[in-house]
Amino acid sequence: MVEPAITPELVQKHNLTPDEFARVKEILGREPSYTELGIFSVMWSEHCSYKNTRPVLKLFPTKSPKILVGAGEENAGIIDIGDGLAIAFKIESHNHPSAVEPFQGAATGVGGIIRDIFTMGARPVCAVNSLRFGELSNPEVRRLFAGVVGGIAHYGNCFGIPTIAGEVYFDKSYEGNPLVNAFCLGVLRHDQIARGAAKGIGNPVFYVGPATGRDGLAGAAFASQDLTEESAEQQRGAVQVGDPFMEKLVLEACLELLATGVVAGIQDMGAAGIICSTAEMSAKGNVGMHIDLEKVPTRQQNMKAWELLLSESQERMLMVVEKGREAEVVAVFEKWDLSASTIGYVTDDGMLNFHMNGVLEASIPAYELVLGGGAPQYTRAYKEPAYFAKINSFDLSTVSDTEDIKATAEALISLPNIASKRWVYTQYDSMVGAANTSTNDPSDAAVVLAKGTGKALAVTVDCNSKYVFANPKIGGMIAVAEAARNIVCSGGEPIGVTNCLNFGNPYDPEVYYQFVHAVTGMGEACKKFNTPVTGGNVSFYNQNPDGPVYPTPTIGMVGVLDDIAQKMTMHFKEAGDVIVLIGNQQNDIASSEYLHKLKSVSHSPAPYFNLDEEYMMQQFLANCIKTKMVKSAHDISEGGLMITLLESGFAGDKGFDVSPVVTIRKDAYWFGEAQGRVVLSLSAEKLAAFTALANENNIPVTTLGAVTDNEVIVNGSNWGSINSWKEKYDTAIEKMIQG
């Protein structure tokens, strides 16, 4: 086959600018071949090179004495949790593939993040996800929603990893471009940490796992461009096909082999497949590789060199092993009914030389392909979004107060952003592996056991994108603060963050403004909470024909409970217990679900937030939980105080009788989403000591009322049983899906 001529039109189709193409020719000292052009196209794509974000990402704090593997060093960050143990965790997006093929797109997103964890030498113990869709009234949205949830459930359940928590939001901005962010966490000993650097000149390079096909071709490049109906149809082949049972075998074989000391370097074949794994391993080790592509196992005939290099077929790994120990590798993989093929060897010249049946198809310096190496870097221009004028003109006095608190609560509790996600989580196996402690005893963050120790881990994902849309910097801060609040409410100490930054087209100055300011706010909050960023993912080009999605910088946060007995749950325990609110009440309904959905106001400021107040409140709460002063803790988020009270009653079938003195707007008091507030319950005999301690620490406290056996009573009016409210809450989404 004669390769196409390298023309300006072909270069443009490969998403390389004229300046970038000139740089390619400078690096090579010649015109690239067709295969080499494809290599630079995917490796210099936004998805692989972070060319529009690296300078901004430096705003994140990434250092801590507890960090064993930091951001950007390997596939996932690793943090010390004491006693010789560590955790590896990361979150990544699979947005475009899920928009095109929701089941396989979401499934392979789960598979990819699991591989990132066990490539580090850790055994995955739990999965979490963060999902965004358009409005459920749209049949196409319901199709995407069902497909994505089905794909996540299929892969996680079959692989055997519990999906223990997550979040789901619905908004018109996500129509046509859903967000699918997958998180995984694994546990390992310090001496089990595996690295991706290729080492040892002459050491063999092994391809392990299933054969390569044409699925997933140029998936990284596909994820680095605007998603349109035309591009989606053209790129169905860029969506990978996953096999969770195969991945389980690959996991066991890799972990067994890592324990033998035979592995000199390991990397999963994720985005950009073989070319990315060979380039990253070589660049990290300051070496090169000679690869014979005809030795790569294939499941389709007559695959071209560029197809073999760029395929993103799933469940594959690349290993460099100690020379002379090849038989051990083959034996372990044969034991697990897997193939392991030698496809090349490590060289000392820093070059990636790819041969096909004796013909040199591509020869490129490894360092020039990778993030931090020769890949281009840009600082984009940005400007304040024009829609800020609408936000700045918001006038609370023009919005009528609620006339009926109960009717408003009934409307809110049935909104899909607030209602129970039971339809989703009942499809996930949350108990496989018996690590989960929270399925029947819920807390604001999911809590899993660190097996073999008395420790536990608290895990959460958080981001309210309406807040980020309203004020990117404050919204970014709130995402971090809410994640920390959920960890603290569950009895944990926040220790680290991974993030998935989902935005529109970075070449749009208003989108880039959102990105820069959100990262700035997140960085400041991470410093305040001492939660360094260990890694993550940037996902740009999340657009539909009407414009970009809401800016959605999803936070994945992990906390540690040194003793599982520290765990705090969210539900009321005993009738007669006192219900209190800590934090400042504000005359504020900005960016609330109430204002947005029930009052149809789409542009308003971010809700009240003060970083110092939030931090002090969380420190106070952590101390109260450790000293067993409180019986339950549940933070106030979407839907405000009333939704928090109702949710606090559901798990234990307990009601509440509250009649606080309200001196601000009724809707602000009951349904506003001002930050830094938590609802607690405690024994009546501890109220005086609790209030005194709060006053000493300058923490505002409001006594709201008391826990009841079952009835919900507000301002003396009986609203019925907590069970009737739970029925509305649990079935709202199911009814929408069923039509």
User: Which two three-digit tokens encode residue 335?
Assistant: 């034991």
Which of 243, 607, 612, 244 is closest to 391 using CA atoms? Answer: 607
Can 290 be counted among the known catalytic residues? no
Provide the residue count of the chain. 739
CA 102, 544, 414, 666 torsion-angle sign: positive
Q: Report yes or no: 109 and 148 within 8 Å, Cβ to Cβ.
A: no
The rounded distance, in Å, linking the Cα atoms of 167 and 117 is 21
SS3 content of the chain, % helix, strand, coil (to 5): 40, 25, 40
Catalytic residue among 47, 96, 517, 571: 47
Give the H/E segment covering residue 344. Answer: strand 340-347
Q: Give the CA distances from residue 124 to residues 145, 188, 229, 417, 631, in Å, rounded to whole numbers and listed in that order.
A: 26, 9, 36, 29, 31
Q: Give the CA distances from residue 23 to residues 6, 18, 29, 537, 599, in Å, rounded to whole numbers and listed in that order.
A: 15, 9, 10, 26, 53
The rounded distance, in Å, linking the Cα atoms of 437 and 446 is 8
User: Which two three-digit tokens encode residue 705?
Assistant: 């009322």
The rounded distance, in Å, linking the Cα atoms of 285 and 536 is 22
Catalytic residue among 94, 96, 355, 571: 94
CA 300, 305, 311, 316 torsion-angle sign: positive
Q: Report yes or no: 323 and 339 within 8 Å, Cβ to Cβ.
A: no
Which of 15, 16, 19, 37 is closest to 28 using CA atoms? Answer: 37
Give the H/E segment covering residue 229. Answer: helix 229-234
Q: Give the CA distances from residue 357 to residues 104, 293, 351, 568, 660, in Å, rounded to whole numbers and listed in that order.
A: 33, 8, 19, 62, 80
Can 94 be counted among the known catalytic residues? yes
Q: Report yes or no: 445 and 458 within 8 Å, Cβ to Cβ.
A: yes
The rounded distance, in Å, linking the Cα atoms of 535 and 184 is 12
What beta strand segments (E) does 576-646 contain? 578-582, 632-635
Report residue 716 CA to chain centroid gap. 43
Residues tagged active-site: 47, 94
